[in-house]
Amino acid sequence: MSTGWIVALAALVLLALARWALRRGLTPAAEVPQDDPAARGLLGVQTVWLDAPRGRRLFAWFAPAQGAARAPAVVLMHGWGGHAGHLLQAAVALQRAGFAVLLPEARSHGRSDRDDHSSLPRFAEDLHCALDWLAHRPEVDVARLAALGHSVGGAAVMLVASQGREGLRAVVSVSSFAHPERVMRRWLAARHVPYWPLGWLVNRYVESVIGRRFAEIAPEVTLPRAQCPVLLVHGRSDRTVPLDDAQQLFARRGTAPARLLIVEGTHEQFDDEPALFDAVRAFLLEHLADAPCAAAHDARGTAPRPAAPAATNPAFDSPHPTLQ
C-alpha cells in the first residue's frame, strides 16, 4: 500500500473517531438520582411518564397544589447532565406557594428514554411535552402555566417563550448562557483546541447534528422574541457561564418584558436560596394571578419595573440579590 493511501486511511480513521467523540459528547451520561421527593417535602408527589418525540418517554414527578381545585402550574427543567432531583428544593418552595409542579427529565437524562443526542432544541421539545401533559390535568389551570429552567434548561424556557406557547404566562431562566457559539469557544479554549479551523468545524458539525443553526436558537436571539415575562437569574461567581453572559443577554432583550436578578453564588449553588425562592415566587405570583396579566410593556416599549415589595419580603430586603 502506498504512503498516500496510508495517509488517506489514517485521516478517515481520525475523522471517524472525531465524529464518534463529538456524537458521544452530545449524549451525556445518564445520572440516575436517588432523591426521594416526598422525603424532601414535596407533597402528594406522583411518578408519571410523558410522551416525547421519536417514540420516547420522559420520566417526571408531578405534585399538585395543596388545597386548590385548579391551580397554576410550573414546569421545572434541569440542565445538561442533570435530573429532576436537582430542582427539588425549588419545587417544594413553589408548591408551598400554591403552585402545582412538574419536574420532567429530558431525553437521555435521568430515568427518561435515551435518544441519539441531546441539544437545546430537544430540551425545548421536551418542555413542550411537559406543558402539553399539564394541559390535560384537571388539577391545573391551563391558562396559568409557567416554566423554570436551569442552564441549558434555562435557555430552553426562553426558546419556548419565543414560540408563543398558549397559556404560558411567565418563565424563569437560571444560569443560562447567551449564545451556544461562545459556550463552545470557551469549551474548546479550555482544552487548548484552536477555534480556527478545528473549533469552527466542530460547531458546524454540531449544528448539522441538531438540525438548527446556533444563530437561530441562541438565547440572545430568542429572548427579544419572548411573548411572556422573563426573569433571568444568575450567580455573581458563576464560572461555568460567566455573569457577562447574563448581562449581555439582558442588554440585548430589546422590548422583551425581562428582568435580571443577580445573586451571590455560582452556577448551581446560591448563598441565600430562601431569598432567591421568594423572589421567584413573587415574580410568578405577579404574572400568574387570577386577574388577567397587565400589559407586558409600558408606553416606551420597555419592561416594567416590579411593584415595590412589602418590607418583610426577604427576596428584596436581602443584601444579596440585585434586581435590574
CATH at residue 172: 3.40.50.1820
Do 114 and 256 belong to one domain? yes
Do 230 and 274 belong to one domain? yes
Residue in the structure block whose three cell numbers are 443584601: 319
Q: Residue ranges of the alpha helices (H) in the chain?
A: 3-25, 88-96, 120-134, 152-161, 180-190, 200-210, 214-217, 219-222, 243-251, 273-287, 314-317
Do 128 and 151 belong to one domain? yes
Q: Is residue 15 a part of any domain in this protein?
A: no
- What pLDDT, on the 0 to 100 scale, is given for residue 306? 34
Q: Is residue 205 a part of any domain in this protein?
A: yes
Range of the domain at 62: 39-178+219-288
**Rounded mean pLDDT, 87-104:** 97
Cα–Cα distance between 265 and 279 in angstroms, integer?
15
Over pLDDT 70: what percentage of the chain? 80
Q: Is residue 295 a part of any domain in this protein?
A: no
Do 173 and 131 belong to one domain? yes
**Rounded mean pLDDT, 121-130:** 98
Do 159 and 223 belong to one domain? yes
Domain total in the chain: 2
Cα–Cα distance between 62 and 38 in angstroms, integer?
11
Q: Report the Cα–Cα distance between both ends of the chain, in Å, rounded.
A: 67
Q: For 150, which DSSP code?
A: E
Q: Is residue 7 a part of any domain in this protein?
A: no
**276-323 pLDDT per residue, tens:** 999 999 999 999 987 433 333 332 233 333 333 332 233 322 334 556
Do 171 and 188 belong to one domain? no
Hey, how many other C-beta atoms are within 10 angstroms of the C-beta on 266?
A: 15
This prediction has a pTM of 0.84
Do 52 and 186 belong to one domain? no
